[in-house]
A = this chain, B = another copy of it.
Amino acid sequence: MTHRPGHLILNAFLMSTGHHEASWRLPASPAGAESLSIAHFQQLARIAEAGTLDSVFFADSPQLWGDIGRRPAGTLDPIVVLTALAAVTERIGLIGTASTTYNSPYNLARRFASIDHVSGGRAGWNVVTTAGPAAARNFGLDEQPLHATRYERAAEFLDVAFGLWDSWEEDAVIGDKASGVWGDNDKVHAIDHVGTHFSVAGPLTTHRTPQGRPVIVQAGSSEDGKELAARYAEAVFTAHQTFEDTHAFYLDLKNRAVTHGRDPEGIKILPGIVPVIGSTEAEAQALERELDDLIVPRYAVAQLARTLRVSPDDLPLDGHLPADLPDEDEIEGAKSRYTLIVQLARRENLTVRELVGRLGGGRGHRTFTGTPEQVADTIQAWYDDGAADGFNIMAPVLPSGLETFVDHVVPILRARGLFRTAYEGTTLREHYGLDVPANRWTAARTPAATPAITQAATPATSPTASLATTGA
């Protein structure tokens, strides 16, 4: 592989007291609602920025997730969270999750444009289609729409959003006090989209944003999810347990992107890793054991039963998974998570108790337990061997696990020339090595306009710069 030196991508996936479900029970963790407070997340973002990480990320669904007895539950709106983090950070990218199934494209495109403005070009949107009936019932539906319908809607949603983000050309604002002309109406465009799921006139309410549009992230690994990512995503978060699976996924996604006429460098693959770090292997293993011992089996089995669509009674702690589980095809939503869990249990012949221990750390993401040197080694190996453009860092305990990663793993990656020592750019696109997309209207006016795939490799400012004399 030909990764550019120093361009390993590191994203910090943030979640209350950490990704291990029992992390909140550790003595040092905030116990109550403080673990969901904006002050807590602002502290985490500052730690990540001190480590020059590329971005922070939040998962989301418009529903109360799971059993509040089990662990810190309750999520602030991700738009509010990202904006509050933008206010206390300078450089780090800010990626939030929002549903294409339960939002309208006009409002959501507007919100991400607004975050891109207030953050100075640091916004990213993890596009999800939101599985499950619980969310559906908050939006007037008895059941979730079908998997294929949700993905079809997501694609049209993105087409509309891309149109809205292009609706103001870069030089639409003039501000000529002498003549009394503030803006150039000829450089603000309706989109007049009429499609299967949406009719949207446009233009957007706000002038073009620093990044042109937010970085598009995707995390579904079903067939539909991979196709959506191949067409639109610029970064993909993915959960795999083995190098082989991750490597195959990496090649598959890059090849699919090429099939859609895209540059494979324009889609970054970031597998998740839950690093359980100790200054010795024994210390790391002791931390992992301490966490697993704090899992309350009753809650964990109930969660597993929901994911597998079986009764908790079918999952005796010291038994194995039922033999007659449904095929992935029969599962509506979270398909890839379902398959990953079933395969993990079967491959390693795990009991239910062992399985919930394994899932308690990273909910299907790969847990890696070891010293900072060993964590750096596995990150480097997967990166060098072409299974990853970077990693989605899922600290099992927050803030301590992120502090340990920043203080002890990041310096090793820097010393090896894999990771930046200071931010070079100011936007998320610059951190990830992604180009600013050309504005379709500006491009159409440019005599030298070239096909889309080549345009994507053009420096962001050139279409505007070449038009500077024709503006206003």
Contact = CB atoms under 8 A, between A and B. Distances in A.
Contacts of A117: 37-38, 76
Nearest to A32: B175
A190 to B, nearest CB: 9
Given A84-B86, A118-B38, A200-B140, A182 B106 contact: no
Interface in A1-59: 22, 24-27, 29, 31-33, 36-38
A38 B69 CA distance: 40
A71 B31 contact: no
Interface stretch (A108-116, A256-264, A320-328, A455-463): A108-116
A72 B183 CA distance: 8
Contacts of A140: 198-200
A23 to B, nearest CB: 11
A140 B156 CA distance: 13
B173 A207 contact: no
A385 interface: no
Task: Please give the count of copies of this chain that the complex contains.
Answer: 2
A193 to B, nearest CB: 10
A75 B205 contact: yes
A174 B172 CA distance: 53
Nearest to A199: B140
A449 interface: no
Contact of A84 (B83, B173, B181): B83
A445 interface: no
Contact of A24 (B26, B74, B88, B177): B177
Nearest to A111: B77
Nearest to A296: B180
B296 A68 contact: no
A206 interface: yes
Given A73-B182, A177-B25, A103 B114 contact: no
Given A68-B182, A79-B79, 9 more contacts: A31-B177, A33-B173, A38-B117, A71-B182, A77-B107, A77-B113, A77-B114, A102-B104, A137-B200
Q: Which 7 A-B pairs rank lowest in CB-CB distance, beginning with the nearest? A: A68-B183, A87-B87, A31-B175, A32-B175, A137-B201, A83-B83, A80-B114
